Chains A and B, each alone.
Chain A
Amino acid sequence: MSSLQTPLHQVQGLGAAHSGTGHFWRLRVTAVALVPLSLWFVFVVLGLAGASEVAAVSFLAHPWNALLMGAFVSFSLYHAALGLQEVVDDYIHTAGAKIFLMLFIRAALLACWAVSTFALIRIASL
């Protein structure tokens, strides 16, 4: 026997943290998705800067624009959760502070997602 790992553990390839390359891969997938979405977002913000509230509503109420803005918000916040976890993992070395900070960050980002999504639905029904 050359390894202390069980054959099942080796084949799963998840390692000691039981998540394998999942965090790394999700950060990359959301990053790639955010490249075109960010460019679209800048185009929208510039286009609505100085425009009236009515113009902003009629633009964001359009199904495609609402979906794209929802996608931008969702991918951004998921990417932020993954990225901030990396920061916490690197700089916070006590278990209690780490758990508290990660729960706080995730709760804040989830609340931010819920508020943004609700606002988009409300705009669409105005």
Chain B
Amino acid sequence: MADNPQKPGSPQAGRPLSPHLTIYHWAITMIASITHRATGIALSVGALVLAWWLVAISNGPEGYQTFYAVAVSPIGLVVLFGFTWSLAFHLLNGIRHLAWDLGYGFTPATAHQTGLWVIALSLILSVGIFAFSWTGHAGYLQ
């Protein structure tokens, strides 16, 4: 529970700090790690939208219409794309983390490469999912 050393007047003011985000050169591994956290937090909020979707379905056709209108509005689609990409990224990078837990892919070169793959694949997958839907292929469980 130490005081903030950067705060003027605190007993620790002026003491050196260990390097943080503003000091380090940005690397792919670092970006992937931060994005994994951010997408995890975003997906926790997404769970609320999932709950809303299930409630809307349970409320009958009129209740579902309200949800559907919001979901396909421009803002709704942007948010849904955000959740889609977050899930794709968190899932792919999560598999990368599980591989690390098993001891694979730890060398800097490999970690850099798999990081780039995860970023690229997550974008391709989420754009692909939306393209799949926009070309009229979704709704196959009708």
| Chain A interface residues toward B at CB < 8 A | 28, 31-32, 34-35, 38, 42, 44, 46-57, 59-60, 69, 73, 76-77, 80, 83-84, 87, 93-95, 109, 112, 115-116, 119-120, 122-123, 126
Are B98 and A83 touching (Cβ within 8 A)?
Answer: no
Stretch at the interface among B22-30, B111-119, B133-141: B133-141
Are B54 and A123 touching (Cβ within 8 A)?
Answer: yes
Since A38-B87, A53-B65 are in contact, a sample of 8 more A-B pairs with Cβ atoms closer than 8 Å, ordered by chain A residue number, is A31-B97, A50-B138, A51-B139, A51-B141, A54-B61, A56-B57, A94-B1, A120-B54
Total interface residues in chain B, CB < 8 Å: 33
* CB-contacts of B28-43 with A (<8 A): 37, 40-41, 43
Are A57 and B57 touching (Cβ within 8 A)?
Answer: yes
Are A109 and B47 touching (Cβ within 8 A)?
Answer: yes
Are A50 and B133 touching (Cβ within 8 A)?
Answer: yes
Are B44 and A80 touching (Cβ within 8 A)?
Answer: yes
Which of B43, B54, B98 contacts A32, CB < 8 Å?
A: B98
Are A73 and B95 touching (Cβ within 8 A)?
Answer: no
Q: Is B51 an interface residue (CB 8 A)?
A: yes
Are A112 and B51 touching (Cβ within 8 A)?
Answer: yes
Q: List 7 A-B contacts (CB under 8 A).
A: A35-B94, A42-B129, A46-B129, A49-B138, A112-B47, A123-B54, A126-B58
Which of B40, B50, B57 contacts A53, CB < 8 Å?
A: B57
**What's the Cα separation between A110 and B20 when bound, in Å?**
35
Are A95 and B1 touching (Cβ within 8 A)?
Answer: yes
| Chain B interface residues toward A at CB < 8 A | 1, 37, 40-41, 43-44, 47-48, 50-51, 54-55, 57-58, 60-61, 64-65, 87, 91, 94-95, 97-98, 101, 129, 132-133, 138-142
User: In the assembled complex, which residues on chain A have CB atoms less than 8 Å from the CB atom of B41?
Assistant: 84, 87
Q: Label chain A's interface by main secondary structure.
A: helix
Question: In this complex, what residue of B is CB-closest to A95?
Answer: B1
User: In the assembled complex, which residues on chain B have CB atoms less than 8 Å from the CB atom of A122?
Assistant: 58
User: In the assembled complex, which residues on chain A have CB atoms less than 8 Å from the CB atom of B57?
Assistant: 53, 56-57, 60, 119, 123
**What's the Cα separation between A120 and B54 when bound, in Å?**
7
Are A55 and B1 touching (Cβ within 8 A)?
Answer: no
**What's the Cα separation between A45 and B97 when bound, in Å?**
26
Central interface residue in A28, A55, A119, A120, by most chain B CB within 10 Å = A119
